[in-house]
Structures are given as C-alpha cells and as structure tokens.
Amino acid sequence: MSNELLDIDPIDLQFPFELKKQISSSLYLANKTDNYVAFKVKTTNPKKYCVRPNTGVVLPRSSSEVLVTMQAQKEAPADMQCKDKFLLQCVVASPGATAKEVTPEMFSKEAGHRVEETKLRVVYVDPPRPPSPVREGSEEGSSPRASVSDSTNVSDFTAAPRFSVDRLEPQENSSEARALITRLTEEKNSALQLNQKLQQELEHLKRESKRSQSGGGIPFMYVLLVGLIGLILGYIMKKT
C-alpha cells in the first residue's frame, strides 16, 4: 500500500498468534519523494501494542523499519479474528528534520497541514510449523480473509506507546522458587526467635545483676558481656 509520500509494506500487520508470548511484526516505510517525511503511528488499542519508533523521520529516497510488538495474550480471540487497527500519519517535514523535532502539531489538519493517513489492519496467522516429512497437497495462494469494515474514525486511534514494561509471569510448579521461599521463611523465623530469646536473657541478666550488686557480687556489665558471648557462640555452633 502506498500514499503520495510513503510506500508501506505490508498492507496488513500479521502476527503469528501464540498464547502467553510476545509477538512482533515489522512495518517498512519507503520515502519515494525528495522531501523529509515525518510519520506517526496510532492504534485503537494502545495498551496491547508497543511501537518502536512510534514517531520518526524518513529521509529522502530512503526507508525505515517500524517494529510493532503485541503483548502476550492470555486468551485466544474468537475465530482468530482481530478488530484492532493502526493508523499511519505522515507529513512533509522541514529539510534536515530529525525524530526529536517531530511534534503532534505537525499532524494537525486544523492547522492547515496536509496529512497523509493510511489505515492498517491486524491479522492473526498460524505460527510457523516444522516441515512435515509427508508433503500434503495444497492449493496455491492463501485462504480468503474475512472482510473487515474500514469505517474506523481517525478519532478512535490513540498514539501507540513507544516502550513497554514486560510483565513477568511467575513460573508454575517451580520447585526452586518454593524451596527458596521455604528457606527464607525459616531463616526469618529463626531470627525472630533469636531476638526474642536475647531479650529474655537480657532481662534475666539485669535482674541477676541487681541482686549481685546488692549483695556485693559480680558487676552487671561483666555478667551481661559473658551472657551475650555465650548466646552468640551457641547460635554459631547451631548454624554450623
């Protein structure tokens, strides 16, 4: 598909759909003019996709690649049909313009800018399969796609996010994770018990020291020091 400024390939964004897996699809933009062309990518479902770059500049008679990544999906859509769409907007930029100089105002028709717009569908395809030793007969060409109405308004599109934070799903039935959690819990409980025991011993030593001082016995600090050293040595021998 093409407009007056850019050749766009492919005409549909195809994703080899797999559950719980991020999938990427490349979009190639070829500038067929002698002007600098600024572009911006929007989508009807910005939370589902990440676009890099979502804005940029294609130099005269050159091309750029846009990578569209679909976030991992937990459920398969009905009949493997997707209603999501993308909108590619492009406009002639000033000579020497860079991606940092691209602003939303450049794509405003109300400001009198001539903006080229191209709508792209999202199509789910089967993931690649390993070659079969027995080649099955197949007809040339692909099966016809279900027709999708292209009545989406421009206002339905939202600027596609440039970056996304990957959400890490916890590994199910992970014995290593369970063992780590159990060990940390045991160490925490041991530390709490040791702290409680030290507090009890400290109170006991205080009482003993008071009685010793009243009877002319051993000083409090000496008793406290000997008691703490004994507890620490006992804990170390228990851990080893």
In tens, the pLDDT along 22-72 reads 999 999 999 999 999 999 999 999 999 999 999 999 999 999 999 999 999
Read off the tokens for 97.
């313009």
Query: What's the alpha-carbon Rg for the chain, to the nearest Å?
Result: 34
Write phi, then psi, for 235 (nearest 5 degrees).
-65, -45
Res. 233 pLDDT band, cuts 50 70 90 = low
How many DSSP H helices and E strands does the chain contain? 2, 10
Average pLDDT over residues 7-30: 95
Q: Which CB contacts under 8 angstroms, 24+ apart, belong to 188-197?
A: 194/235, 197/231
pTM of the model: 0.57
pLDDT at site 139? 47
> What is the identity of the amino acid at 170?
P
User: Which residues share a beta bridge with 119?
Assistant: 87
Quote the pLDDT of residue 142: 45
* Mean pLDDT rounded to a whole number for the chain: 81
d(CA 139, CA 168): 41
Q: Which residues pair with 8 in a beta bridge?
A: 29
Q: Would you state the structure tokens that stand for residue 225, as one six-digit string?
A: 């020091």
